[in-house]
Structure 1
Amino acid sequence: MKELRLVCILALLGFLIGCSSSSNDDDEMLPPYNNNNEALIAAQNYFNGSLKPIIDSKCVTCHEGKHNKNDAFNFGVFNNARNSADNMYNQVNSGKMPKDAGKLPQSEIDKFKEFMDLVDKI
């Protein structure tokens, strides 16, 4: 009986150590926002040059004053836009956003799609 308890305790300990180690490995797999890889740089450049002007002219008017710079819904900030690229594309493609303004021209919707595709490569 003592031997069975010891085996169970050792197995549980091994499991807990394995879970802890696995968690750290997962964190290392996520690319940091300041990573200098080509995909990240391409997404940032595209955001700043092609998408941010649309967001500034079509989105900020409704969101201004409701969100601060650290708010996840302030899509004029690259990291927030990056984290919400799929949702932003889906919203503008469906015509749900910009709210009460009519659907964006297809050329602008295509820019949200291109940004989403670039983010997916990071």
Structure 2
Amino acid sequence: MVEVVYSRNQINHWQSALKDFAKTPRTQFTKKQAVEAMMNEIEEALKNHSYVEVSETLKDSGLDISKGLLKQYVNGYRREHTSAKRKQSARKKAVPLSTENSQETKNQTVSKAADKKTVTNRRSQATKKATSKAK
């Protein structure tokens, strides 16, 4: 099969068309996309109203959505966006300011791990004592 070859002009034309297209706002939304587009307003409404009331208000306005589906979309959106925020914040914390500071951080991490191990050992010893007394 012969491979099709494209000119630089064609590629430039397509790139330009895609850039123009990317600037145009979306005009058609799925139900999930509609909920995500209104998330700020939905969050505000949920501060004072239940999922049932919010879904009924949306139904009255023309968006047929059940309480369960609304809750599913809202929780999914929250989960997606809070995990992204956590990842960003973890990346920021993971960057050492200097090598001296980095060594200090490593020492603190090792110390914390040792502390956790000690606490875990004490708990398991206490559990063993309690179990043997119960017998």
TM-score by length of 1: 0.30
User: Which structure has more helix as a fraction of its residues?
Assistant: 2
TM-score by length of 2: 0.28
